[in-house]
Amino acid sequence: MLAKRVQTVEKAEYFGVGRLEACTSGDSGTLEGTTVNKRNTLPQFDARRPISDLEYIYDALKQSCMIGEFEPGQKITLHQLSEAFGTSQMPIREATNRLVAAKAMEAPPRRSLCIPRATLESLDSLLPLRLLLEGEAASLAALKPDPELADQMEQIDFEMVTLARTDDLKSYLRKNQEFHFVLYAASGNANMIDMIELLWMRYGPLMNIVRSGVLSSSGYAHHAAAIKAVREGNAEAAKHAIQSDLTDAASPIRKRILASSASN
């Protein structure tokens, strides 16, 4: 398994920067979009759903926010979402109102919904909270040896390695999310998990600006360390592995925001 991780070839570090019209005029220390979505289009959503329209739409939009599918500053209309989901605007409005309340989206007066911009301020305010809560959740999950959880995490990590060889970045990021939340769920602290989920939703615009940069050898090493810590019941090692993973992933985000600021 480790050999397969080591053999993984890193993808290109970053996507180029392509500007989109944001909610407000650009400020220094702000990055407003990438070439992931030049035409301001929406992620692809499945119109089929086994649950209520509202819950399905909210969950789909929440997941897209959490893995950074929307661009920083991207404008979104209820009509766009209504067409994408194949439903009326009523459940769309209710779902997006919940996301606005969670600060995963913004709703300026008399204007379209939009995704928050990626700024150094947002990075510096969200990252310490993620380090604190996700580190603690990992620590609680590894208080005692859990070979079954370690095997589950190892399987997810193997699937991530396989996806890294393809262009299916969305599936890769969803697997990365699954890896983290399977671990956090083992903490047994539902309130902490809810808070972590909220932070991921707000962190999404930051993830978007370096979406290809998540495919790195250091990330695989940190995942391997977390798996080992869970298998051995080493709470401190699990905490360190997850916090190192988050810190390393934030480094290229900071560099891109600073580079964008310098070029303006």
pLDDT tens-digit series, residues 132-173: 999 999 999 999 999 999 999 999 999 999 988 888 888 989
Residue 86 CA to residue 47 CA, distance in Å, equals: 6
pLDDT at 28 over 50: no
> Which 3 state secondary structure label does DSSP give 40?
coil
Q: What are phi and psi of 96, to 5 degrees?
A: -70, -30
Average pLDDT over residues 83-107: 96
pLDDT tens track for 117-143: 999 999 999 999 999 999 999 999 999
Q: How confident is the model at residue 15 (pLDDT cuts 50, 70, 90)?
A: very low
pLDDT attached to residue 31: 55
Which of 256, 263, 262 is CA-nearest to residue 31? 256
Q: Is 114 helix (H, G, I), strand (E, B) or coil?
A: strand
Token pair of 161 as six digits: 């390695």
Token code pair at residue 205 = 């615009």
Mean pLDDT of 35-51: 61
**Hey, what's the torsion of the CAs at 141, 137, 240, 181, to 10 degrees?**
80
CA gap 191, 119 in Å, rounded: 27
Chain-centre distance of CA 164, in angstroms?
Answer: 16
pLDDT band at 10 (very low <50, low <70, confident <90, very high): very low
In the chain, the percentage of residues whose pLDDT exceeds 70 is 79
For helices 78-85 and 53-66, the axis angle rounded to 10 degrees is: 110
Out of 101-115, 121-135, 167-181, 208-222, the most confident range is 121-135
Q: Which residues contact 99 (CB under 8 A, 6 or more apart)?
A: 58, 61, 62, 65, 105, 201
Q: Taking residues 98-110, what's their average pLDDT?
A: 94
Cross-strand bridge partners of residue 172: none
Residue ranges and CATH numbers for the domains of the chain are 2-11+119-263 (1.20.120.530), 30-114 (1.10.10.10)
In terms of Cα–Cα distance, which of 233, 208, 227 is closest to 118? 208
Distance, in Å, from the CA atom of 170 to the CA atom of 163, rounded to the nearest integer, reads: 9
CA distance 14 to 184: 28
Find the mean pLDDT for residues 197-211: 91
